[in-house]
A and B are shown apart, each in its own frame.
Chain A
């Protein structure tokens, strides 16, 4: 333990405690901008500087340890002037038009500048004004970037995607796509973690709400919106709704006034995914011969982008099942259109997701299986949806719980936990176990795959067949798992990967809370809902039973293959394209 004095308060903290942590322990607030615990402790913004007795210069609190006997002062005139001036420096390169900024009110730069009393700038502004491909689902606006470098750190250290790099030096330093490539040609998985870790609006999703407003305004168009499982964990954040208040039923009520014709539950198609993916797994297992193992889940399009970009040799092992979003899209413009007696070409299908990769996914030419139009027309992140609710002036506090439209509003607990790491695996095991043994699994018998460990493994007995499973969340963990598989260090039969740490609840399209990692808390919401769900296994879902009875026949049927499965080779990631071009050139 070391003894330090911070602002006159004596405290004792363990060795290797930073000044910032020690101050927080003592109840003293030191403002930070670039700091992100463990991920970005680089002392770059110089806002957390403090004064230490005996040293003339100021010291960054975020990445320097307290030493025994150290006397720290966190709010001397020298400190306060340096902090304010540094924020003023940052603002000279920041587009501060907060009135037209999506992060206004949820921006750490804004609050730090306000707290420090920045009322005007004594310096001229110089914005970098760099170009960006605004058609890409991920948008970077370096006029708002403060070079905190968090995006780069989360992309490298957590997501192993290495999209960003420092583009220039000196006063022209900016973060940009590594090597100056267009973002479309980069290895970006579209996980969106850079967005949720950005302290300002330098990173955001492409806003697609206008297209939805247009469709809603058109009386000829039938608007159908699906809501993903994890949306229910955080959608109420902008209004400060608690977990109990922000139910998915209340969200249904919040969306009704916007004019959606049908509001349906992606939990249903998560169950559908389980039926198809589970059957695919059992089919592979029974096939024998030289099937390559493991089979990987395919429900996360960020993961699909990642594996295609970095591990093309493993793509054949990815399940052909579409993501729940795309399964739903295909069902909506086929079976559901039939049920409703509507021309599928008149349907505008919207999907609310905690995700950016799904914006890319819905636009793929290979995702037009129902009627030739895109199966899903527009994907909105939770943030975009919240903006629509705000724009419509809906008073969410006053709403009663509503109900999804039937029959596609019914989901099971298995569908709900799709939003958390391990959830797809657990849901699949519940149904696979039933399909293999003919009897319902014991409650929570597969709960070992839950939890926030980045790489979990377990072995289960499915009616006499030993099944070795693994679950990874966060692409860095996925990369480690793939490397270990390729090196022959591990062997599995079935592997679930979710691109975002903690799964979709930690998705790049969720509401942002600067500096907070909420995956665990949000995941618990889903497991709580699963616990009390009427049905907890996908095969029990009456809507699932009905849709197979009336439309698909059985999992992996011809129609199911056409509408619910896809060819993972139908499109290419940039690395695949480069390899293909190189192959052609070699041939020539």
Chain B
């Protein structure tokens, strides 16, 4: 008999691990679908399987709790059921010996409280009141509802122009989105249950890069109605495009030198090459959009009197201040200021400088990576939480690291040290991470001395704000700077004036702004007394059942960091034909298989 054994993984344990991974993958992509009560019951049942069986609340309580929830699901619930369910979960939380029990109890309590209406609906009406929004998962996950399986099938069929046409039914900016969309659709992709989610953005990019021909979309007869669009960002462009297709005459008023809004003045060219952006914008303008650049709209009412309707989409282009000592020193600039200059091709020269970036979001990464390209000797991203808590996308963080940026986590800026009115360093307080607060781990000052990071420049990237005060002064309601609208986007008290995009929702993503513009076009059209429909005009190839074929996801490669840090050219390479075809063929066609066959499938017009 050996005294000790080397731990070996049994075959059964390996299967167990595989199944756990599979469960993780399933859960990761299905959050839009389940009935809340059904899910909570199954969740409690799953937790019960983890119980070792020693302690009462976990061993028996979880099983009892599951049965109570099954009663509700099977129509045996009564008014008293909820009380009993809550008491049961509370006891499991309060009295379990280990985390297997008390965590399960707490999650159950969260679910019961968060889903109270749903539980009651089941009890009173014997049906689920939760809307089934996952008709086609990716389409449901796309803020603009783009027909993703449709265009993927067209890419697979080699019909790239048709793919772009189909995308433009719901999203007029496929070139931009092929390059920079945050692709929330992929989060819900059912292919993730099989191996990996589809690379939807990659396929969109491929379609836009391989269109066979230009085309002109269908325009409705001219209505003679003029609509002013304030702001030429994604929301304004999207609204103007659809309004033009509907036969109206939109005119964009843009305060800056070029159209694009944050696409140009927020996203650096190495992610969104300017020639691609211009190509998209120029095509859109050609569809009947009038543009006036460097025209800042001051007076809403007088503009309204000249047009039949107005769409206010000014974005969020002002910056948040740190409010720290030394912030007004020479060498401290805001992220917005820096990226705006780059957008107008006025590249700052950081040659030989040491640069600190304050912040942990995508904009902080954009600034850091742009600073590298502007010649900075050293770039340090200073963040008060951990890298894991950064809101920037993982690929942005990885990209910044690859390009030589240093990530200094758990350091909170205290003040900016100056010498002769110029930045000489950033003084920071080391932090220690603590418990969750509003769902995110909260840092606090560590028992350690403050540190000074020597630098010549500090770039503050801690969020944008909306320049809504001029409009607020004219009577537009705002809430923490955000423009307040009715659900249809109309601004109360201003007949025929609508608003959307970042200035109404707060800083969000490109695809959300695009959808805001689409929604605005429909509602403005309705306001003007019309009911124009934007319709599908592409015939799709038939669906083919391929059976289960394992095939992992193709990622788009990046240029080597050593090469890319010297220019603002695109860092990412699009798919090859081989990659595009393979990736497109992985689509499970949820528009045809599963619930999509019954309801969903295809939204042919809006």
Contact flag A179-B129 (CB < 8 Å), given A42-B598, A130-B75, A169-B38: yes
Contact in complex: B126, A167 (CB < 8 Å): yes
Contact flag A176-B547 (CB < 8 Å), given A42-B597, A128-B75: no
Contact in complex: A172, B73 (CB < 8 Å): yes
Residues of A with C-beta under 8 A to B542: 15-16, 65, 67
Interface string of B96-128 (1 = CB under 8 A from A): 000000000000000000000000011011111
Interface string of B568-600 (1 = CB under 8 A from A): 000000000000000000000000110001100
Whole-angstrom CA separation of A131 from B122 in the bound complex: 13
Interface string of A153-172 (1 = CB under 8 A from B): 00000000000011111101
Contact in complex: A55, B545 (CB < 8 Å): yes
Whole-angstrom CA separation of A165 from B33 in the bound complex: 16
- A64: Cβ under 8 A from any B Cβ: yes
A15, A43, A52: the one contacting B597 at CB < 8 Å is A43
- B207: Cβ under 8 A from any A Cβ: no
- B132: Cβ under 8 A from any A Cβ: yes
Residues of A with C-beta under 8 A to B74: 128, 172
Whole-angstrom CA separation of A131 from B127 in the bound complex: 12
Interface string of A32-44 (1 = CB under 8 A from B): 0000000001111
Residues of A with C-beta under 8 A to B33: 169
Contact in complex: A56, B547 (CB < 8 Å): yes
Contact in complex: B38, A170 (CB < 8 Å): yes
A-B contact count (CB 8 A): 75
Residues of A with C-beta under 8 A to B546: 55
- B13: Cβ under 8 A from any A Cβ: no
- A149: Cβ under 8 A from any B Cβ: yes
Contact in complex: A169, B597 (CB < 8 Å): no
Whole-angstrom CA separation of A55 from B128 in the bound complex: 36
Residues of A with C-beta under 8 A to B598: 42, 44, 149
Whole-angstrom CA separation of A54 from B121 in the bound complex: 46
CB proximity to A under 8 Å, residues B502-560: 542-548
CB proximity to B under 8 Å, residues A118-143: 128-131
Minimum C-beta distance from A116 to chain B (A)? 23
- B217: Cβ under 8 A from any A Cβ: no
Whole-angstrom CA separation of A52 from B546 in the bound complex: 10
Residue of A nearest to B593 (CB): A43
- B421: Cβ under 8 A from any A Cβ: no
Minimum C-beta distance from A435 to chain B (A)? 41
Residues of B with C-beta under 8 A to A55: 545-547
Interface string of A68-106 (1 = CB under 8 A from B): 000000000000000000000000000000000000000
Minimum C-beta distance from B153 to chain A (A)? 13
Residue of B nearest to A168 (CB): B128
Contact in complex: B73, A179 (CB < 8 Å): no
A44, A64, A149, A181: the one contacting B543 at CB < 8 Å is A64
- B412: Cβ under 8 A from any A Cβ: no
Contact in complex: A170, B35 (CB < 8 Å): yes
CB proximity to B under 8 Å, residues A518-573: none
- B34: Cβ under 8 A from any A Cβ: yes
Contact in complex: A59, B38 (CB < 8 Å): no
Minimum C-beta distance from A173 to chain B (A)? 9
**Central interface residue in B126, B127, B597, by most chain A CB within 10 Å:** B127
Contact in complex: B132, A169 (CB < 8 Å): yes
Residues of B with C-beta under 8 A to A16: 542
Residue of A nearest to B34 (CB): A169
Contact in complex: B545, A64 (CB < 8 Å): yes
Residues of B with C-beta under 8 A to A242: none
Residues of B with C-beta under 8 A to A15: 542
Residues of A with C-beta under 8 A to B73: 168, 172
B-side interface size class: 20 to 34
Residues of A with C-beta under 8 A to B548: 56-57
- A238: Cβ under 8 A from any B Cβ: no
Residues of B with C-beta under 8 A to A44: 597-598
**Central interface residue in B122, B125, B132, B545, by most chain A CB within 10 Å:** B545
Contact in complex: A180, B75 (CB < 8 Å): no
- A63: Cβ under 8 A from any B Cβ: yes
Contact in complex: B127, A168 (CB < 8 Å): yes
Contact in complex: A170, B127 (CB < 8 Å): no
B126, B544, B547: the one contacting A130 at CB < 8 Å is B126
Residues of A with C-beta under 8 A to B122: 168
Contact in complex: A179, B127 (CB < 8 Å): yes
Minimum C-beta distance from A47 to chain B (A)? 15
Whole-angstrom CA separation of A57 from B127 in the bound complex: 33
CB proximity to A under 8 Å, residues B406-452: none
Whole-angstrom CA separation of A67 from B541 in the bound complex: 12
Residues of B with C-beta under 8 A to A65: 542-544
Minimum C-beta distance from B124 to chain A (A)? 8
Whole-angstrom CA separation of A165 from B128 in the bound complex: 10
Contact flag A169-B547 (CB < 8 Å), given A42-B598, A180-B121: no
Contact in complex: B544, A67 (CB < 8 Å): yes
Residue of A nearest to B76 (CB): A129
Whole-angstrom CA separation of A168 from B548 in the bound complex: 28
Residue of B nearest to A15 (CB): B542
Residue of A nearest to B598 (CB): A42
Residues of A with C-beta under 8 A to B597: 41-44, 63
Contact in complex: A169, B128 (CB < 8 Å): yes
Contact in complex: B129, A180 (CB < 8 Å): yes
Whole-angstrom CA separation of A130 from B122 in the bound complex: 12
Contact in complex: A180, B544 (CB < 8 Å): no
Residue of A nearest to B36 (CB): A169
Interface string of B32-68 (1 = CB under 8 A from A): 0111001000000000000000000000000000000
Minimum C-beta distance from B590 to chain A (A)? 13
Residues of B with C-beta under 8 A to A63: 592, 597
Residues of B with C-beta under 8 A to A180: 121, 124-127, 129
Whole-angstrom CA separation of A67 from B546 in the bound complex: 11
Residues of A with C-beta under 8 A to B126: 130-131, 167, 176, 180
Interface string of B120-144 (1 = CB under 8 A from A): 0110111111001000000000000
Residue of B nearest to A149 (CB): B598
Contact flag A169-B35 (CB < 8 Å), given A55-B546, A57-B547: yes
Residues of B with C-beta under 8 A to A168: 35, 38, 73, 122, 127-128
Minimum C-beta distance from A166 to chain B (A)? 7
Contact in complex: B127, A167 (CB < 8 Å): yes
CB proximity to B under 8 Å, residues A163-215: 165-170, 172, 174, 176, 179-181
Residues of B with C-beta under 8 A to A166: 132
Residues of B with C-beta under 8 A to A172: 35, 38, 73-74
Residues of B with C-beta under 8 A to A67: 542, 544
Whole-angstrom CA separation of A56 from B74 in the bound complex: 36
Contact in complex: B545, A59 (CB < 8 Å): yes
Whole-angstrom CA separation of A169 from B42 in the bound complex: 12
Whole-angstrom CA separation of A2 from B427 in the bound complex: 74
Whole-angstrom CA separation of A170 from B38 in the bound complex: 8
Residues of A with C-beta under 8 A to B544: 65, 67
Whole-angstrom CA separation of A145 from B598 in the bound complex: 17
Whole-angstrom CA separation of A129 from B71 in the bound complex: 12
**Central interface residue in A42, A57, A63, A67, by most chain B CB within 10 Å:** A42
Residue of A nearest to B130 (CB): A169
**Central interface residue in A63, A128, A166, A170, by most chain B CB within 10 Å:** A170
Whole-angstrom CA separation of A54 from B548 in the bound complex: 11
Q: Give 20 A-B pairs besides A55-B546, A65-B544, A176-B126 with Cβ atoms closer than 8 angstroms.
A: A15-B542, A42-B598, A43-B593, A43-B597, A44-B597, A44-B598, A52-B545, A56-B547, A56-B548, A63-B597, A67-B542, A67-B544, A167-B126, A168-B73, A169-B132, A170-B34, A172-B38, A176-B127, A180-B121, A180-B125
6 contacts between A and B (CB under 8 A): A16-B542, A129-B75, A130-B75, A130-B126, A167-B126, A176-B126
Shortest 6 CB-CB contacts between residues of A and residues of B: A180-B125, A167-B127, A55-B547, A180-B127, A169-B35, A42-B597
Query: Footprint of A on B, CB under 8 Å?
Result: 33-35, 38, 73-75, 121-122, 124-129, 132, 542-548, 592-593, 597-598
